[in-house]
Structure 1
């Protein structure tokens, strides 16, 4: 059921930014927790995430400023930001140290988000992004579990395992999901000892 926009004003901001990106004609996709929401899960973040290509970021910022948004270019070097009042939209071009490419932006479905159709990142790529955010400085499996549970049938878990195999935190999360019976590593032909030892 769509979230009422008077209770979640970020939805209205999300729709306005998506409309501007469509008008500009640049490739983009909804990502983050609102992409999970668009796929049947529950949003839980305080901002909206879109992915874009790095070469489009300056043009997008200029267009959104002309449309009335306030822009910010933070020092991190992998995203730009716009605000509508106090509502934040992140426009990310290098999520989890993986540059957004045409291939990334093809891994989407056109879905309705509160009656506005837009490209939404695949559940598989959303899960990969979530798992690759974990490090020695931040590792909150409780934030990943709702996504894994709500989208598990939409996710290509074998691809998730392949593309996150270098991360010990991601490998541990797959073992946790197997123990909670969210997924079956045996069914994926990924031996548990291989996941633990990789």
Structure 2
């Protein structure tokens, strides 16, 4: 990752957040950049926002009118937006996560935070980690990739909620045991 890549991702985040903040619909920063807003390492892949499933088309229209190139991939739980000045950069707008629709309740728990000098709603770190842990499976089970972010934001995490909300996923249980054994969480 180069400084130019970081700059392009940051500008895409700023541009998308500014457009959504000004013209709606309600949204929240999520994913690795959401964790970054709480002190995790800066991501290197893409920017993730969530919107209510019922607001998907409104979000696409807002970003299209802001100059983003909107892409509809085969996955039916998100759309992608690319800033015209950096078409290789991706902003994912998710309206379903791990098969569950995003609704007003998920957006209501977002916390206002200053991210790159823009005050915006950011999902709580525990909710983001739950989403990441629920996504783990036998074909995508890189526990090590979650460790730096978890270590950096461990004081912000509600470990009981994370354990309860991921109890059906054995890969999440393995990560939680690893986090405990590494001293990232208490033994409760």
Fold match, TM over 0.5?
Answer: yes
Q: Give 1:107's aligned residue.
A: 109
C-alpha displacement at 1:98, in angstroms? 2.1
Cα distance, 1:91–1:6 mapped onto 2, change above 3 Å? closer
Q: C-alpha separation between the residues in 2 aligned to 1:55 and 1:121?
A: 18
Name structure 1 gaps, 5 residues minimum: 189-198
User: Is 1:5–1:11's contact at 8 Å kept on the other side of the alignment?
Assistant: no
Q: Give 1:52's aligned residue.
A: 51
**Structure with more relative contact order (C-alpha pairs < 8 Å, separation 6 or more):** 2
Cα distance, 1:160–1:39 mapped onto 2, change above 3 Å? same
Q: C-alpha separation between the residues in 2 aligned to 1:16 and 1:129?
A: 24
SS in 2 for 1:166: coil
Q: C-alpha separation between the residues in 2 aligned to 1:128 and 1:52?
A: 17
User: Is 2:47–2:92's contact at 8 Å kept on the other side of the alignment?
Assistant: yes
Q: Please tell me whether Structure 1 or Structure 2 has the larger radius of gyration of its CA atoms.
A: 1
Residue by residue, what CA displacement relative to the aligned partner does 1:90-133 show, whole Å, maximum 9, x if unpaired?
A: 00011122211111111211111111110011011011011111
Q: Give 1:73's aligned residue.
A: 72
Q: Give 2:23's aligned residue.
A: 24
User: Is residue 134 of structure 2 the alignment partner of residue 132 of structure 1?
Assistant: yes
C-alpha displacement at 1:6, in angstroms? 7.9
Q: C-alpha separation between the residues in 2 aligned to 1:184 and 1:75?
A: 41
C-alpha displacement at 1:8, in angstroms? 2.3
C-alpha displacement at 1:80, in angstroms? 0.7
Q: Give 2:181's aligned residue.
A: 179
Q: C-alpha separation between the residues in 2 aligned to 1:55 and 1:5?
A: 35
Question: Alpha carbon RMSD of aligned pairs, Å?
Answer: 1.5
Q: Give 2:13's aligned residue.
A: 14
Cα distance, 1:134–1:7 mapped onto 2, change above 3 Å? closer
SS in 1 for 2:73: coil
Q: Give 2:168's aligned residue.
A: 166
Report how many residues are paired.
183
User: Is residue 91 of structure 2 the alignment partner of residue 89 of structure 1?
Assistant: yes
Q: C-alpha separation between the residues in 1 aligned to 2:88 and 2:13?
A: 13
SS in 1 for 2:119: strand
Runs of 4+ in 1 over 4 A off after TM superposition: 4-7
